[in-house]
Amino acid sequence: MINYDYILVGGGASGLMMAYRMSKDSFFDNKKILIIDKEKKTANDRTWCFWEKNEGEWDDVLAKTWQKIQFKSEIHSLEGSILPYQYKMIRSEKFYHKIWNQLANKTNITFVEEAVLSIHQEENSARVVTSSATFHSKVVINSIVFSDESKKQTKFPVLQQHFVGFFIKTLEDSFNNESATFMDFKIPQKGNTRFMYILPYSENEALFEYTLFSENLLPISEYETEIENYLREKNITNFTITEKEKGSIPMTCYHFWKNNSENIIHIGTAGGWSKASTGFTFKNTT
Ligand SMILES: Cc1cc2nc3c(=O)[nH]c(=O)nc-3n(C[C@H](O)[C@H](O)[C@H](O)COP(=O)(O)OP(=O)(O)OC[C@H]3O[C@@H](n4cnc5c(N)ncnc54)[C@H](O)[C@@H]3O)c2cc1C
Q: Which of 17, 44, 48 to mutate to test the pocket of ligand 1 (most atoms within 8 A of CB)?
A: 48
Q: For residue 248, which atom of ligand 1 is closest to its CA?
A: 53
**CA separation for the pair 204, 173 (Å, rounded):** 5
pLDDT, averaged in runs of 10, over the chain (286 residues): 95 98 97 98 95 95 98 96 97 97 97 97 97 97 89 88 98 96 97 96 98 96 98 96 96 92 97 93 87
CATH of domain 2-48+92-150+253-285: 3.50.50.60
What is the whole-number distance in angstroms between the Cα of residue 235 and the centre of ligand 1?
Answer: 34
10: left (phi over 0), alpha (psi -120 to 50) or beta: left
Encode pLDDT of 182-213 as tens digits. Answer: 999 999 999 999 999 999 999 999 999 999 99
Among candidate residues 251, 48, 276, the one with its CA nearest the CA of residue 151: 251
At residue 100, the 3 state secondary structure works out as helix
Q: Answer whether 48 contacts ligand 1 (Cβ < 6 A).
A: yes
pLDDT of residue 151: 82
Within 73-187, strands assigned E span 77-81, 85-91, 109-113, 116-121, 126-130, 134-142, 158-170, 179-184
Ligand 1 atom 51: the closest Cα is on which residue?
Answer: 247
Fold of 158-250: Alpha-Beta Plaits (3.30.70)
The reported pLDDT for the residue numbered 1 is: 77
Q: Which residues contact 225 (CB under 8 A, 6 or more apart)?
A: none
Does the model's ipTM exceed the 0.85 cut?
Answer: yes
By most ligand atoms within 8 Å of CB, the mutation choice from 58, 100, 112, 144 for ligand 1 is 144
Contact of 245 with 47, CB cutoff 8 Å: yes
Q: Residue 6: in which H helix or E strand, if any?
A: strand 2-9
CB distance 39 to ligand 1 below 6 Å: yes
CB 180 within 8 A of CB 87: yes
17 CA closest ligand 1 atom index: 25
Q: Which amino acid is at 106?
A: K
How far, in Å, are 9, 64, 200, 205, 242 from residue 239 at the CA level?
40, 21, 14, 9, 9
CB of 31 within 8 A of CB of 108?
yes
Atom of ligand 1 nearest to the CA of 246: 1
Query: Could you tell me the distance, in angstroms and rounded to a whole number, from the CA of residue 61 to the centre of ligand 1?
Result: 18
Query: Distance from the CA of 214 to the center of ligand 1, in angstroms?
Result: 19
Domain-wise residue ranges, the chain: 2-48+92-150+253-285, 158-250
Residue 271 Cβ contacting ligand 1 at under 6 Å: no
Question: Is the shortest distance between the CB of 250 and ligand 1 below 6 Å?
Answer: no
What is the reported pLDDT for 6? 98
Question: 161: Cβ below 6 Å to ligand 1?
Answer: no
CA of 11 to the centre of ligand 1 (A): 9
| Residues recorded for the chain | 286
